[in-house]
Chains A and B, each alone.
Chain A
């Protein structure tokens, strides 16, 4: 008898702070239980650079620059199920607090008019750098998203409940105490 095939899981952080990934690691030794059922593809945990065909894609962070859009589309194209993990992926979160400001003004405030800058400092324009978007967007405004797990970050218990439900083939249900917006 063959053991059931392990589910392939890819994760990434776009315009996030890696707090959601840290919260994921906070499931602690349950990570070993999880690894009985899943294996990681592209993820900060494996350092694989591109996403292959996967069962589950987990996106932390919203979309704040052109590279975020490319990575998000790569995940959507390769993952059967795509999950928005955390406040930033769900509604833009902290980075989206810049949305009522003009992008040029923000860059100027940091690189031009700020006191104490080194002489000659200017707004970075290296072609290697991804172009920032005018506003930060939650990921469902760019690709179709199958599941949302809010929280800043979602607690380890919420992530555990969510993933174990999903792996068992149930619709993830959080319930009081695990669903949180802050």
Chain B
């Protein structure tokens, strides 16, 4: 019915379907909004805040806010870009992100967004948390040092795999990813490399064993073009109305 519904995003008119979020409408129209916890196949989570825009002058997460006709949305402004850089800097100093030895390097959304937004300095003091890796599973390595708590693995394991392998535990700076087994070890769950939860981590936590650094530098996902040029890969898979996402 409302074919003509649209809102304005940074001076550009963005059409939307009823039920779409601001993020989904923007991505469908080919406009990239930086995000980490949004995934085209999952319901929005609204936790990383990287997708924050200003809607009619008020900050809101674009992945959770339904699009509405006539909205004035600001995304690509110096103020908002600066806030997004700060969020990325906080994520980078809170974990142990040593990209040179990370198998996800070149495929990592956190890294690619750092490049996109020009994050060159840590700005804050580094936390250097102690987070031992879990190498117990025969096919998958868990390197908790890089977890950004986006809950995508939790959502995938719960909603798609029906296995409940992952959960978050603790509060505030102590919040961390845990494995749902008496021993806390991935080997003692029914997790498998074929699970959806093994495919969705935007950073380098859930890694297939014996596959590291298979793609040469220069040919990795975000080597040739910045993440904003990959906008088509983030378009919603179901565009409207009730059903997931």
Which residues of A does B touch, CB under 8 Å? 84, 87, 90-94, 96-97, 99-100, 135, 137-138, 140-141, 145, 147-150, 152, 173-174, 176-177, 179-182
Contact = CB atoms under 8 A, between A and B. Distances in A.
Contacts of B100: 87, 93-94, 152, 181-182
Contact of A176 (B99, B111, B131, B225): B225
Interface of B: 92-93, 96-102, 105-106, 111, 114-116, 118, 120-123, 125-126, 128-131, 217, 223, 225-226
A92 B122 CA distance: 11
16 contacts: A91-B97, A91-B98, A93-B98, A93-B100, A94-B98, A96-B98, A97-B96, A148-B122, A150-B120, A176-B226, A179-B115, A179-B120, A181-B97, A181-B100, A181-B111, A182-B111
B118 A135 contact: no
Nearest to B127: A99
Contacts of B226: 176
A113 B99 CA distance: 31
Given A176-B226, A182-B100, A140 B128 contact: no
B161 to A, nearest CB: 31
Q: Which 4 A-B pairs have the closest CB atoms?
A: A181-B99, A148-B121, A152-B100, A182-B99
Looking at B93, B98, B106, B131, the one whose CB has the most chain A CB atoms below 10 A away is B98
A176 B126 contact: no
Contact of B128 (A84, A96, A177, A182): A96
A94 B129 CA distance: 15
Contact of B114 (A93, A137, A181): A181
Contacts of B105: 181-182
B98 A149 contact: no
A22 to B, nearest CB: 15
A140 B99 contact: no
A90 B128 contact: no
Contact of A141 (B106, B126, B217, B225): B126
Contacts of B114: 179, 181
B99 A99 contact: no
B149 to A, nearest CB: 19
Given A94-B100, A152-B99, A152-B100, A141 B121 contact: no
Contacts of A92: 126, 128
Contact of A91 (B122, B129, B130, B225): B122
Contact of A174 (B96, B99, B118, B128): B118
Contacts of B101: 94, 97
A113 B141 CA distance: 29
Given A93-B98, A94-B100, A181-B99, A135 B128 contact: yes
